């Protein structure tokens, strides 16, 4: 009888031990990743927000007006658009600046957008990759960060969106040719740093996705500007890169190519093992690319996988597991949902961003586990994405 009792209790003991190990691991992780706090709230010396815009009144009117006012404050007279006002954020990233230019054009602020593009044109690399970031005076920041190929894609998209291809044709040609030059015989570029801002040993979707958008944008520009040779050359590169992306990253479109693929049975889509979801999968769909069912499925899967207990989104499954949400990635999913016609999801995410602004109304870089704004505020990339998401809710955005 005692023997039988031992067998009955054994599963409960095992479960209790496993739960204890899980709890210890969770506590250890939280100790290693302490709660981030707000670094700065608003731009020093600025008067309370009194921004005006050409937008009609809408649900997110106050949110968007604050975002545009903060972009005004972060954009210097020479067109340099700072990612944030303080310390390590006080630089110009080609990615962030491109999104700011697009957001400006989306709401009809073309003069402000052209100032941003003019600054980017002044620092463009005649050959090679764009630097990860530049000083407000246009100098390279020599801090050991490698040049990043994704900048070529972002800048091309912004130039096309703002219909500035004629003005910045040299920047378009050099950036698009750089993408085409980087493609290896397998149709893909070599690994490069991306928006995660770290050195990568494997090629990431964070590099590939913006390059696809950039090439499509460049083809439109070349066609409109009557440069058939360039349009043909870049279309060939786009077809090569597109096929390779689907082959290597599909059908899950994770951050890195799957380490293995599980084939269940004929007629059933294979499942990639490894790689991990990444918020950048949104750039494979509207408003960056024409909608495809397989991509929409991957975007929805990534959104579910990356949503944190606090309601926002983390950059990726292989990002640190600290329960902190990042506002740029949350806003990326809001933009994606709005552009794909999923207004309910877009509303949910924009409302969450609206509710977690700082005391000055600025959009912070992060929201911590206690639902407090954290990191730098305002953050240019998030502000631009919020403007674009709201614009996509109002009217369809153009897709290259």
Query: Tell me: the pLDDT tens digits for 170-207?
Result: 999 999 999 999 999 999 999 999 999 999 999 999 99
Average pLDDT on 367-383 reads: 97
Q: What is the pLDDT of residues 69-84, one digit of tens each?
A: 999 999 999 999 999 9
Dihedral of alpha carbons 326, 93, 41, 57, sign: negative
Question: Which two structure tokens, joined as six digits, stand for 364?
Answer: 């912070």
Question: Which two structure tokens, joined as six digits, stand for 135?
Answer: 């000083």
Average pLDDT on 204-218 reads: 98
Report whether pLDDT(94) > 50: yes
Report whether pLDDT(50) > 90: no
Residue 9 pLDDT: 57
Domain annotation covers residue 400:
no
Average pLDDT on 316-330 reads: 95
Residue 309's domain is classified under what CATH number? 1.50.10.10
Average pLDDT on 289-295 reads: 98
Q: pLDDT category, 42, cuts 50, 70, 90?
A: confident
Domain annotation covers residue 399:
no
Q: pLDDT category, 26, cuts 50, 70, 90?
A: very low
Choose between 227 and 26: higher pLDDT: 227
Domain span at residue 68? 2-394
Domain annotation covers residue 375:
yes
Domain annotation covers residue 308:
yes
Residue 382 pLDDT: 98
Report whether pLDDT(233) > 80: yes
Beta carbons within 10 angstroms of residue 46's beta carbon:
13
Domain annotation covers residue 79:
yes
Beta carbons within 10 angstroms of residue 344's beta carbon:
9
Residue 105 CA, distance from chain mean position: 19
| DSSP designation for 57 | P
Domain annotation covers residue 39:
yes
Bridge partners (DSSP) of residue 373 are 367
Which of 98-107, 140-149, 363-372, 386-395 is least confident? 140-149
* DSSP SS3 for 309: coil
Q: What are phi and psi of 323, to 5 degrees?
A: 75, 5
Torsion over CA of 75, 77, 80 and 84, rounded to 10 degrees? Answer: -30
Which of 3-12, 93-102, 151-160, 321-330 is least confident? 3-12
Domain annotation covers residue 18:
yes
Check whether the bond before 287 is cis (ω within 30° of 0): yes
Q: pLDDT category, 302, cuts 50, 70, 90?
A: very high
Which of 63-77, 251-265, 273-287 is least confident? 251-265
d(CA 132, CA 144): 10
Report whether pLDDT(369) > 80: yes
Residue 38 CA, distance from chain mean position: 21
- Residues making up the chain, counted from first to last: 400
As a whole number of Å, the end-to-end CA separation of the chain is: 74
d(CA 386, CA 65): 10
Locate the DSSP E strands across the chain. 260-262, 271-273, 325-326, 366-367, 373-374
Mean of all residue pLDDT scores within the chain: 89
Q: How many domains does the chain have?
A: 1
d(CA 161, CA 132): 22
- Percent of the chain exceeding pLDDT 90 equals 78
Question: Which two structure tokens, joined as six digits, stand for 126?
Answer: 């005649």
Choose between 192 and 6: higher pLDDT: 192
Q: Exposed (0-12), middle (13-18) or buried (19+): which is 27, by Cβ within 10 Å? A: exposed
Beta carbons within 10 angstroms of residue 145's beta carbon:
15
Domain annotation covers residue 91:
yes
Which residues have C-beta within 8 Å of that of residue 351, sequence separation ≥ 6?
none
Report whether pLDDT(295) > 70: yes
Report whether pLDDT(23) > 60: no
């Amino acid at each position: 009888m005692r023997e039988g009792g031992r067998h009955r209790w054994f599963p409960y003991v095992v479960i209790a031990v496993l739960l204890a190990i899980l709890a210890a691991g969770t506590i250890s992780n939280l100790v290693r990743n302490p709660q981030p706090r707000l670094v700065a709230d608003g731009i020093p010396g600025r008067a309370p927000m009194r921004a005006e815009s050409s937008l009609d009144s809408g649900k997110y009117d106050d949110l968007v007006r604050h975002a545009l006012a903060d972009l005004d404050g972060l954009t210097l007279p020479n067109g340099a658009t700072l990612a944030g006002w303080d310390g390590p954020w006080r630089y110009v990233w080609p990615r962030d600046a491109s999104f700011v230019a697009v957001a400006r054009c989306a709401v009809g602020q073309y003069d402000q957008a052209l100032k941003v593009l003019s600054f980017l044109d002044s620092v463009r690399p005649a050959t090679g990759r764009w630097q990860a970031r530049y000083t407000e005076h246009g100098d390279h920041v020599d801090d050991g960060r490698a040049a990043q190929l994704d900048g070529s894609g972002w800048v091309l998209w912004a130039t096309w969106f703002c219909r500035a291809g004629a003005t910045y044709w040299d920047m378009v040609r050099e950036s698009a040719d750089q993408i085409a030059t980087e493609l290896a015989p397998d149709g893909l570029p070599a690994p490069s740093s991306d928006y995660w801002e770290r050195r990568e040993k494997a090629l990431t979707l964070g590099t590939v996705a913006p390059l696809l958008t950039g090439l499509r944008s460049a083809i439109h520009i070349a066609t409109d500007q009557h440069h058939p040779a360039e349009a043909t050359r870049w279309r060939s590169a786009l077809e090569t890169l597109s096929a390779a992306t689907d082959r290597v990253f599909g059908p899950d479109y994770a951050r890195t190519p799957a380490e293995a693929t599980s084939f269940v049975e004929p007629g059933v889509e294979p499942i990639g093992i490894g790689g991990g979801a990444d918020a950048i999968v949104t750039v494979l769909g509207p408003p960056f690319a024409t909608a495809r069912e397989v991509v929409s499925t991957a975007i929805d899967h990534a959104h579910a996988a990356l949503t944190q207990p606090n309601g926002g989104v983390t950059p990726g499954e292989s990002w640190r597991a600290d329960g902190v949400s990042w506002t740029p990635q949350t806003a990326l999913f809001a933009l994606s949902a709005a552009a794909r016609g999923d207004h309910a999801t877009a509303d949910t995410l924009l409302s969450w961003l609206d509710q977690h602004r700082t005391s000055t109304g600025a959009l912070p870089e992060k929201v911590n586990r206690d639902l407090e704004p954290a990191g730098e505020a305002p953050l240019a990339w998030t502000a631009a994405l919020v403007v674009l998401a709201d614009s996509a809710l109002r009217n369809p955005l153009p897709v290259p």
